[in-house]
Amino acid sequence: MTDHETWSERQKTAGVTVDGHDLEIAYHEDGPDADAGNESDGGTEADAGGDEPPVVFLHGIPTWSFLWRDVVPTIAENRRTIAPDLIGYGNSSMHDGFDRSIRAQEVMLEDLLATLDVETVSLVAHDIGGGVALRFAAHHPDRVEHLVLSNAVCYDSWPVEFVSNLGLPDTVELDRSELESRLDSAFVEGAYGEADPDFVEGMKAPWLSDEGHRSLVRNAVATNTNHTTEIDYGSIAAETLLLWGEDDVMQPIAYAERLADDIRESRIEPLSEAYHWVPEDRSAAYADRLRSLLSEPNT
């Protein structure tokens, strides 16, 4: 069994309702008491894993929760972790007929946390997952203890050309080998140094079926800059760490600097030798810095 197949095998499922649509969310859960009251039909235990809130990991496009494969285990040593596949991604619902924008993903996150009986969280997010996290933290400042953003979409920083091209109407009819070639370019050329074949294979896997191919196009066309330009960044109260791959050209570190100016309790920690896929490029350093932040005493 491959690494991504093992990850999928360990995922649980939960039902959510987004804009009146009943959808299924696949999520990876680990850490102390991760199974307490959290079967596939939802949970009854609030904030399992001691007094500390769970750490929720949000991925971007065109990834899925497997992005966090080398970060989650370190954090799960002493914290409950929850890493969902966004709707339209990974092993979550992919069929047509629902919105996949970051506005809708925020609704999904809120309903998933309610289903799991989780009130307060620490959010760790990358790419469009960062946009989801920013919206949630701005709309629910009392529910987010820590906010960790990595090469996140914000303001008018997105969509990038690669994603916009995936959302063109004729991409649905694209030959599968051509789609795979585009994804190879994104994950192989987007890695700092030699890309891990297990990472590349795992990232591509959800998109290589007919349903996955179509869903990826729907996800790409759902990118909407208005959903980050409308955020009141000054309302975010969470202690915020901008853990940014400093060599990224898709979401340059200049946007992290802008976030640091607008979010009250924030600081930038650049990670060198990292492009856009910073949780993969610098997974050990990423996990160490995240664990250090989470272990700091509350002030």
- The per-residue pLDDT for 34 is 80
Q: Residue 268 is part of which domain span?
A: 3-294
Q: Are 63 and 86 in contact (CB under 8 A)?
A: no
Number of C-beta neighbours around residue 21 at 10 A? 15
Cα–Cα distance for residue pair 161/159, rounded to 1 Å: 7
Q: Does residue 299 fall inside a structural domain?
A: no
Count of domains forming the chain: 1
The residue with tokens 């050990």 is: 284
Q: Does residue 262 fall inside a structural domain?
A: yes
Radius of gyration for the alpha carbons in the chain, expressed in angstroms and rounded:
18
Domain with residue 255: its CATH number is 3.40.50.1820
* Tens digit of pLDDT at every position of the chain (299 positions): 999 999 999 999 999 999 999 999 999 999 997 865 444 444 434 344 458 999 999 999 999 999 999 999 999 999 999 999 999 999 999 999 999 999 999 999 999 999 999 999 999 999 999 999 999 999 999 999 999 999 999 999 999 999 999 999 899 999 999 999 999 999 998 899 999 999 999 999 999 999 999 999 999 999 999 999 999 999 999 999 999 999 999 999 999 999 999 999 999 999 999 999 999 999 999 999 999 999 987 65
Q: Does residue 75 fall inside a structural domain?
A: yes
Structure tokens of 236? 């975010």
Q: Does residue 176 fall inside a structural domain?
A: yes
- The per-residue pLDDT for 50 is 58
Q: Are 67 and 150 in contact (CB under 8 A)?
A: no
- The per-residue pLDDT for 40 is 43
Q: Does residue 259 fall inside a structural domain?
A: yes
Structure tokens of 226? 């208005």
- The per-residue pLDDT for 148 is 98
Q: How far is CA 285 from CA 124, 250, 272, in A?
A: 15, 21, 10
Q: Does residue 32 fall inside a structural domain?
A: yes
* Phi, psi for 197 (deg, rounded to 5): -55, -35
Q: On the CB side of 149, how many CA atoms lie within 13 Å of its CA? A: 34
Q: Does residue 38 fall inside a structural domain?
A: yes
Cα–Cα distance for residue pair 191/185, rounded to 1 Å: 10
- Beta-bridged to residue 82, according to DSSP, are 29, 56
Q: Does residue 240 fall inside a structural domain?
A: yes
